């Protein structure tokens, strides 16, 4: 757990208080400023130079955070594709230093270059899959909203207290366990509610109701002008 594990509770409480406070204050400010016209993505409500700057910052943040997001996927793919190389190296290390050096030298001489190319190809393929998915989806905004609703609450409120309780459950007081459990439950409720709201807005968009279908033409009663025409009077 580390030498400073006792500070975790105070750090978690401070971050949770600050994070929830900032989110609530920002949401309240948006509701007061824009009222009923507040968009689900607040950047759609802001216009002018401020909006352009915020969108540029968001794009830069997404661009530079993409390698961090792709790293777990690349690890899983590379482990599945190149696990035999790792297993061979570990087996050689268990047998002895000389065998390990020989196996490492053989890998570097024979297949080191091909393995590096294979890993690069796997990472490139993952990036291309993400790019093609983003370009082919008809409603990318819904995908972003759904992934945010599913992931933000889990990453911020569910996993940290859950992992801490699992790692230090033997040394925690009952009150601390209850507090962490409450935070985990709160994150679960927020995740479920946000996900349900995103899906409901997609299925039943506001103002997206179709106008009523007009009745068929054969139900209208149209008067024939020839029947009401007075031929003897000439009109």
Give residue-wise pLDDT tens across range 150-207: 888 888 889 888 988 888 878 888 888 898 999 899 999 999 999 999 889 888 876 5
Q: Say what the pLDDT of residue 213 is.
A: 58
What would the two tokens of residue 112 be?
């080191």
Q: Say what the pLDDT of residue 93 is.
A: 47
Q: Are 163 and 184 in contact (CB under 8 A)?
A: no
Q: Are 165 and 172 in contact (CB under 8 A)?
A: yes
Q: Are 85 and 107 in contact (CB under 8 A)?
A: yes
Q: Are 67 and 77 in contact (CB under 8 A)?
A: no
What would the two tokens of residue 114 be?
């091909």
In a structure prediction context, what are the per-residue pLDDT tens digits for the chain, which is 235 residues long? 566 767 777 887 888 888 888 888 988 888 888 888 877 677 777 777 877 887 888 788 878 888 888 888 888 888 888 766 554 444 544 555 555 455 555 555 545 566 788 888 888 898 888 888 778 877 777 877 888 888 888 888 898 889 888 888 788 888 888 989 998 999 999 999 999 998 898 888 765 544 555 555 555 565 655 566 565 655 5
């Amino acid at each position: 757990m580390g030498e400073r594990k006792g500070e975790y509770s105070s750090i978690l409480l401070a971050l949770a208080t600050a994070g929830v406070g900032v989110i609530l204050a920002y949401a309240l400010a948006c509701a007061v400023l824009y009222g009923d016209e507040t968009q689900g993505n607040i950047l759609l409500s802001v216009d002018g130079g401020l909006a352009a700057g915020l969108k540029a910052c968001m794009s830069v943040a997404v661009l530079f955070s993409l390698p961090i997001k792709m790293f777990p996927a690349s690890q899983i793919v590379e482990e599945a594709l190149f696990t035999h190389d790792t297993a061979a190296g570990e087996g050689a290390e268990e047998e002895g230093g000389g065998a390990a050096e020989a196996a490492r030298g053989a890998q570097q001489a024979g297949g080191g270059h091909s393995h590096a190319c294979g890993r690069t190809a796997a990472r490139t393929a993952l990036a291309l899959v993400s790019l093609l998915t983003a370009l082919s989806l008809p409603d990318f905004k819904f995908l972003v909203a759904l992934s945010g609703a599913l992931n933000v609450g889990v990453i911020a409120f569910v996993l940290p207290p859950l992992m801490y309780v699992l790692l230090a459950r033997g040394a925690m007081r009952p009150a601390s366990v209850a507090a962490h459990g409450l935070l985990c439950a709160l994150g679960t409720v927020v995740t479920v509610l946000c996900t349900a709201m995103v899906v409901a807005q997609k299925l039943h968009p506001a103002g997206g109701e179709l106008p009523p279908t007009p009745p068929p033409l054969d139900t209208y009663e149209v008067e024939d002008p020839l029947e009401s025409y007075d031929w003897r009077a000439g009109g």
